[in-house]
Amino acid sequence: MTPYEVIVEDAVMKPLVSGPEAKRYDEPETDTYILFPYERDARGAVRLIPADDMERRFPNAWEHLCRWEPELRTRESGAFDDDTWYRLGRNQNLDKQDIPKLIVAQTVPEMRVCADCDGTKYLNNVRVNGILPAKRMDQMYLLGVLNGPVADFVFRRIGKPKQGGWYEANRQFIAPLPIPNAPAHARADIVALARRLQERWTRRGYLLQQAADRLSVLARARHPVHWLWPELPILPEMTEQAPRGLRLATDRRKWAEERLDEMEAARIEALQAALDRGGRREVRFEHGELRLYIAGAAVLEKIYLDLATGSLVESYWRWLLLNGPAREAERFAIELRRPPALSDSPAIVQFAERVAALAEEVIAITADERALNDVLYALYGLSPNERNLVENERGRRNAAQADA
């Protein structure tokens, strides 16, 4: 089918959240909308808007639906061939779309829950699930508990494993998760921290996108491998070391290129080992030298740059670290060698400003996560050994990509 544009009234178009948009503590943003021909009646029940009302109140939407009337009527072997042919194919949970709820994707690597505080987000029920708190339970309290390390620890033991370390996050695996019965003061602390974390994680997402938008308009450098590992010899130097038995210049060059490839591979392997070991990742540009640290050890060093260039590359590397955990050293090394080139573009300054604000936001997120976890550990009554087991479990996420 050839794509086409159509103008439809805003009142019947609802933002539709799918799996990739349901992130931990991050208010969902989506460019996908669903034409939702339903509304609540005077009793509060969700009903299909009658055809004559649709045509009168939403003529553009009705015209669009009528364009597809033959196809809509023949759905499921003619099961929709009646006066309400424009209704949705599934009517489950229609009355739960416009109310405050928690949101979790259908498949997740760990518990990733966010809050739809105003009930403005509609859910693609195939790819994302909604969670409604029990009566008298604050939604933000449940948000903080479900995103906490203990609930996550239990979830990944009872959840159905999927390929690549992911799990099904449907009702049968979420309903049994332990929810502590907290006293009023602890409940208030969790509510406040969870609300603040949703605000901070959402702001973090905005800053990441704003930085990425500015980076996208900047010219990028393409530095050679020698720039990242300055101790590596350059090709002419390595060619001079070729065995004397190689008399042809092409043979000496080939030998030198092969040796350089081996040296690069060894450094990529060492970088991969450091990434695999894990630990805090940090970039520093001090005294004219750019360094990358992992778990306190310098894994890249002796990259000497002038002040303007070094400050810009430092911001770019910090953005890489905050943008997501690098797992493949070879790809990571390529990205490290492609910082923005210095220019007089306002986007340069704006990019650095967003990255600095992002780093501060992540530090604040990390502090709030730690404070929330302390409250939760106390509520669950975990011993020091049990807490250590939860915190150091293999595969557990870091709180907020708190690398900088």
* pLDDT of res. 394: 60
The structure tokens listed for 11 are 């009142």
* Pairing outcome for strands 281-286 and 113-116: unpaired
pLDDT tens-digit profile of 282-305? Answer: 999 999 999 999 999 999 999 999
* pLDDT of res. 402: 46
Low-confidence ranges of the chain (pLDDT < 50): 402
Rounded Cα distance between 15 and 13, Å, is 7
* pLDDT of res. 1: 72
* pLDDT of res. 91: 77
Rounded Cα distance between 4 and 1, Å, is 9
Rounded Cα distance between 367 and 196, Å, is 11
